[in-house]
Structure 1
Amino acid sequence: MTPAHQHTPHSDGPHRHHHEHGADSQDSAQAELLDLDAEVLAEHIASITAWLPLKTAPRQIVDLGCGTGAGTFALLDRFPEAQITAVDTSAGHLKDLREKACARGVGERVRTVQADLDEPDWPDLGTPDLVWASASMHHMARPERALRSVHDMLAPGGLFAVVELDGFPRFLPADAPEERPGLEERCHAATESFHAEHVPHRGADWGPMLSAAGFLVEDERTVSVHIEGDRSEAIGRYARESLLRIRGTAAETLDGADLAALDELLDAEGPRGILRRDDLVVRTERTVWAARRA
C-alpha cells in the first residue's frame, strides 16, 4: 500500500511496497496505528467475524494484507480449530504478528508469508476455506487480477470476506477546535485529490468486481462505528496517530491558520492537545462483502 508514501490502514493497506528510505521507521509508526486500530475496534472486528455466512467452521484461513494481526487474532478467537496463513509485504509487521502469536500461545496455528500481492504470481498459500482481506484490496494496482487469484486459491464452496472502509475515522465534534471549527473535515478534504490519484479503489463497490471474478456475492453488510472517548484511554492516542498521518498529506493544502491549529491538537504535551480532550468519539463505517466460490 505505499507507492511513494506511507499511510495508515485507513488510507492504505498493510501489504504494499516499502522500497523508500526509512521503511523500518515507517513500518514501526504504522504498526503503532494498526495496533491502536485493532484495540479500539476489537468489538466491531469480532462482530464481523461472527456475522460471516459460513456453512461450516473453516479449518484453513488466509489473511491477505494482515498487518500486525488484527484480523488474524480475531479469526483465531472465532475459529479455535483453524490454522491461519498471514500474508503481508512488511517483514516488520509479520515479525510483530509472530511475536504476538507466541505470546498468546497460538504460535503453532499461524504461518506468516512475506509477499507482494500486486505481483502476478503469488506464493503457495494452500487451499483455504476462508480468505479474509481487511483494508487491503483497495490498494491493489490490478484488483481484478488479485480477485481472480483469490477465487482460484479458495476451496470449492469457500468464502472470501472483503472488509473495506471509506477513509479515516472522525474523532472531533464539528465545532472543534474552538478557534478553527470544522478543522477535521477540512483536513480530510485536503487529502482527497491525493487519494483519488494514489488510492483510486478506496470506497469502491466490490460487489460487481467480485461477481466479475467468478464469485457469488452472498451478502453485504455495513457496520457503523460510534465509540465514545471515555470507553478507552487508547482512543485519544488513536485519534492523534490518525491525524498525524493525515497531516503528512494535508499540510501542503491547508492554510496557515488551519495547520497551526492542527499542530496544536497534535502536541502531545500541550494543554490544548487532542490527548487532553474529553469530547472524542470514534465515528466510521466498514462494509463487508461475503463472496463464495461456487
Structure 2
Amino acid sequence: MNVIIKVLVAIGLVFVMSGCSTSPTGRSQITMFSGEKMSAMGSESFEQMKQEIPISQNKNLIKFVQCVADQITPNVSKSAHSGDWEVVLFESDQINAFALPGGKIGVYTGILAITENQDQLAAIMGHEVGHVIANHSNERLSSSSVAQGTLQLTGVLLSGQDQQTQGLVMAGLGVGLQYGVLMPYGRTHEKEADIIGQELMAQSGFNPQAAIKLWKNMAKVSSGAPPEFLSTHPSNETRIKKLTEHLKVTQPMFLNSTQKPMCTK
C-alpha cells in the first residue's frame, strides 16, 4: 500500500467514525457532541467571559440590546434552545457580537457604533443566533477533532516511511486540511448564518434590507482583510450579494410579520 493510499484510508476512517446530521439549509454536517454537552460548554464559556470582560452599565444601551433580543429569541426553534436567553452587553471597542449554545448572547459596545438602528443590530444578532440554530459550534469542534484525528492516524500509518517522506506528507496534509476543509467550513458557516439570520430578523419584524446596509458598514471598517480563500469568513462583497439575492425570500416574511419592534438607543 503506497503512501497516498494510506493517507486516504486514514481520512476515510476518521470521517466514517464521525457523526452526521443536517443543517437547517439541508447541508450535511459532522456533529460529534451532544446538545447537552454543547450547552454546558457555552454556559461555562459565557460565565468566564463575564468575569474577564467589563459589563456595560449604560442602561439605555442595555435596554436597546435587550429589546432587540426579546423580539428575535421567541422565534428561535426550541430544538436550538428551549429556555430563556441571557443577553449581556460587554464594554469593549470590539466590533463584534456572539451567541453560544445554552441560550447566551453577547454584544460588544463597539458594534453599536456600526449598527445604526434596531434593524442593523437585529441583523448582526440574528446572524449570531443563526450559528446556534445551525449547530455550528458543534460542527467546528467536531471538524477540528476530525482534522486532529486524521493527522494522528496518518502519522501512525506513515510510521514505516523515512522522516523526509513523513514530514512532507504531514505538512501537506496539514495545509490541505486548513485551506481545503477548515477555512471553507468557516466560510460556509458564515454564509449559512447570514441567510438564517436574515430570515430570523424578518420573521421578528425587522427590515431584512438592513442586513445589506450592515455589511456595507462593516466593509468600511475592515479594509486590509485577506482574500476570501485565505479567510474563515466570506468577503463583504460576497455577503452583500447573497443577502441581496435572498431578499426575495425575506422581504415577504418581513411584510407578513405581525411583530412591530420599537427599540431605540
Q: TM-score, normalised by structure 1?
A: 0.23
Higher helix share: 2
Higher strand share: 1
Q: Please say which structure displays the higher CA radius of gyration.
A: 2
